[in-house]
Each structure stands twice: as structure tokens, then as C-alpha cells.
Amino acid sequence: MNAPVHLLDPAQPRHDWTLDQVEALFETPFTELLFQAAAVHRAWFDPTQVQMSQLLSVKTGGCAENCGYCSQSASFKTGLKASKLMDPDVVIAQAARAKESGASRFCMGAAWREMKDRDLPALARMIGGVKSLGLETCATLGMLTKDQAQQLKDAGLDYYNHNLDTGPDYYASVVTTRTYQDRLDTLEHVRDAGMSTCCGGIVGMGEARRDRAGLLHALSTLPAHPDSLPINGLVPVSGTPLGDRITAEGTQIDALEFVRTIAVARLVCPKAMVRLSAGREQMSRELQALCFLAGANSIFVGDTLLTTPNPEMSSDAALFADLGLTPMPVGAGPAAQ
């Protein structure tokens, strides 16, 4: 077992983490790990505030990628019917309802391998309309070229989501239709355009702890840490290779290991919004509370996340009330040090 990592100034962002150091954080005694993560969280954020985002699938199904967890891949028979890009006015109306429900960021996701230039006018209308409501805007549209990233920035997009999914050593066990470098290239284009990055991954796909450390090591050594860092728990979907395998094996990630992943994410990317993302529908209230204690300060609200279930707004409101949490204001970010 690696020795626990003791940091002289744990709240200061650094980009020189080694994989062994990140793995050693996972092996820190649980209560000590949560104490360190909570202290770092408080150095940058109000620990009673949680950002509320809402995610809408603006183009569902038919994706050419073969991500082994995804119900929207054209490679798998999941019973999901592919649809065309939604009308911008319908998207804007849904964003307005999301704002009324307390969301401060509205995220638009399209099941594409890469964005096509022909779709940019409709996307620009969506982005502009959502932004005019006073919401932060985010999109996940697959791979981007440098020029496409700039056009999305010019349209008013604030955040672009492009997950690494897992550590580089486990990546080929998840998807083979694009490389890790493809993902890194898109993130570079997004940063160069001046947009904020939203980048994280999925745990519970059969990976080892070192693979989870590998994901967080990759994120923490990017030229700029992700502004938002979603940690998704795999939601097994029947018909997908990983969903069927994990269901058959019964090997979903241990709850305390999930909390460790949240805590390590907070430690290695201290200024990021660490989002407790997919999988919350299957999490107990107590597990979610531990995740907030460990440094999670963002969630998705609404009944669905693209195609998977999410807790009802009333359940989240009750949990927030019991924990003394409040929605984070629009535009809030890490405090200056």
C-alpha cells in the first residue's frame, strides 16, 4: 500500500501530480480523506451551496460511437429510437422551465460523434436563447474542430462538456471508435476558444482503482483543470456491453469507493465544480450526503439525464432541506485566494 499523501498547501491547484500520488490519495484512511477534501472544498467554495444544472437531450440516439455504456450508440440494440435535432424554440422553452425550477445552468446534449457545420445555425439559436434567459449555457456535441469551437464560443456558449470517460489504460475496454488523444484534442480546441471545460468520467464500469486514479490524474495534469468535473456512476443499460456485463457480474462500484473518488477529485482539482452526476437515482440519501461532505458541489436536476433516470425535483428539495443546502447563484465560482 502506498503511504498517505500529506500536502503542505492542499488548497492550491497543481498540475504535477503523479499517478502514484493520486492512487495514494485513494488509499488514505477514509475519515482522513474526507477531512482533507472537506477542508479544500471550504477553501474555495461555500460548502452549503450546490450548483443545480439541467441536461436536455436535444438530439437522441443513432450515434456512430461504440461507447460500451451508452444507450444511444447505433452499435447496440437498446430499444432507443433515434431522433432529429430538436427545434430551438422547444429547447428554449424547456430551459425557461428549468430556470423556474431553480437550475442555474442548462446543458444541451446531442448524440453525435462530431458536430456538423450544417447544425451550427440551429445550435447558435438554442445557445443564444438559453443565454438570454440568464442561464449559463453548456453543450456536449461530440468532437469539435478548432473552428467549430470558436463558432460555439461566438454563439455565446459558456461551457463545453467532453468527458475522458476513464483512465487511459482502461479506455480501450470502453470505446474503440475514437482515441484518448481525440478527446484531448477537442478539449484543447475548447480551451483555445476561451470556453470553460466540463470534463470528467464514469466509474463502476469494471475498472480497477488504479484506472479511477488514472482518470483523475489525466484531469489534474491538463494544461487547465476542468471548470466542471462530473463523476458519473454507471447506470447499466440493457443491450449495452458494459451494462449487460456489470448487471450479470453484480460488480457495480462500492458506495464508499465512489465517495473516495469524489474526495480525490476535489483534492486534485480543488477549484472545479465537482458534479455528482449520473447514478443518483440509485444512490441513498446517506450516500449523496457523504458525497457532498467529500466535496461534491454540483448536481443535475430534472427527471432524466439524456436517457437515464434522475431523482425527482421534490426528492432533491427534501434532501437539500434536510442537509441545509441551498442552490448556488448563477455565475458563482471558486473564491479568490
Taking each helix axis from N to C end, the angle separating 285-293 and 313-323, rounded to the nearest 10 degrees, works out to: 60
Question: What residues contact 102, with CB distance under 8 A and at least 6 apart?
Answer: 52, 301, 313, 327
Q: How far apart are CA 270 and CA 240, in angstroms?
A: 34
Asked if residues 156 and 210 have their Cβ atoms less than 8 Å apart, the reply is no
3-state secondary structure of 137: strand
Q: Which one-letter DSSP state was computed for residue 63?
A: B
Q: How far apart are CA 191 and CA 212, in angstroms?
A: 24
**Alpha helices (H) along the chain:** 19-26, 30-44, 88-100, 120-132, 146-155, 180-193, 209-220, 241-249, 255-268, 285-293, 313-323
Residue with cell 484506472: 211
Taking each helix axis from N to C end, the angle separating 88-100 and 120-132, rounded to the nearest 10 degrees, works out to: 30
Positions marked catalytic: 63, 67, 70, 107, 138, 198, 275
Concatenate the DSSP letters of all residues of 197-212 into one string. EE--EEE-SS--HHHH
Asked if residues 163 and 201 have their Cβ atoms less than 8 Å apart, the reply is yes
**Per-position b or e across 297-328, b if 16+ CB within 10 A of its CB:** bbbbbbeebbbbebbebeebeebbeeeebebb
Question: What residues contact 165, with CB distance under 8 A and at least 6 apart?
Answer: 67, 171, 174, 175, 183, 201, 202, 215
